[in-house]
């Protein structure tokens, strides 16, 4: 479906499970009707309320960096259209996803249910707080950019867990991968990006590079 957008020499998404999930989720179902002709273009698209659905490459890249496993329980911050959650749902046991913009959360929940993604749980709320009653999580993915890493999210990550999120302001952001090892947290910067700012506790949704 996406071909060289994901697998070309300059892109290099190699995880076969991620590529399969990307090709199985119908992206056109997660964009407004007027934009469906552009649904498989390598670009973000507006979904209303000042938010966007991420370009396919960013979804695939973040998912691959998260290294999702079949038994994982994953927390997503920034549901947006529900597209990233749908991709994750094919790769893990359960997805818990939080969106601060209520109309987006309601629409995403309805679309995910209509399309049969029954292992995705959608909540309206502030992503800075995470989802403590369902913690700890094997992996956390954040699709909006906080200025600093929310402490609550690190606290809700399992020992050995991974978290992928953009960090920075509107002028400079870096996609960072964290790995929790006991009391230590390892981190590495992997890609300059430009995401919608994270709102709420520090005052979201999806991305574009």
Question: 54 catalytic, yes or no?
Answer: yes
User: What is the 3-class SS of 114-163, one letter each residue?
Assistant: HCCCCCEEEEECCHHHCCHHHCCEEEEEECCECCCCCHHHHHCEEEEEEE
User: CA 25 → CA 77, 87, 140, distances in Å?
Assistant: 20, 6, 20
Cis (ω within 30 of 0) for the bond into 136? Answer: yes
- Residue for token digits 């959360």? 105
User: What's the rounded Cα separation, in Å, for the pair 92 and 50?
Assistant: 29
Nearest Cα neighbor of 65 from 155, 161, 190 is: 190
User: What's the rounded Cα separation, in Å, for the pair 138 and 157?
Assistant: 6
Set 4, 54, 89, 205: catalytic member: 54
Tell me the catalytic residues: 54
């Amino acid at each position: 479906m996406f071909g060289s957008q994901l697998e070309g020499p300059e892109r290099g998404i190699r995880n076969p499970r991620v590529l399969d999930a990307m090709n199985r989720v119908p992206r056109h179902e997660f964009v407004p009707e007027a934009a469906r002709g552009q649904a498989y273009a390598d670009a973000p698209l507006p979904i209303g309320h000042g938010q966007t659905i991420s370009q396919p490459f960013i979804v695939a890249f973040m998912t691959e960096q998260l290294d999702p496993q079949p038994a994982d329980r994953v927390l997503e911050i920034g549901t947006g259209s529900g597209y990233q959650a749908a991709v994750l749902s094919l790769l893990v046991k359960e997805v818990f996803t939080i969106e601060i913009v209520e109309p987006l959360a309601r629409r995403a929940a309805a679309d995910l249910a209509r399309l049969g993604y029954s292992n995705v749980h959608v909540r309206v709320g502030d992503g800075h707080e995470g989802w403590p009653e369902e913690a700890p999580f094997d992996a956390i993915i954040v699709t909006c950019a906080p200025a600093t890493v929310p402490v609550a999210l690190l606290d809700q990550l399992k020992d050995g867990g991974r978290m992928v999120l953009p960090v920075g302001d509107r002028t400079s952001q870096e996609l960072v991968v964290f790995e929790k090892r006991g009391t230590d947290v390892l981190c590495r910067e992997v890609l300059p990006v430009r995401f919608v700012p994270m709102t709420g506790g520090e005052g979201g949704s999806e991305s574009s590079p």
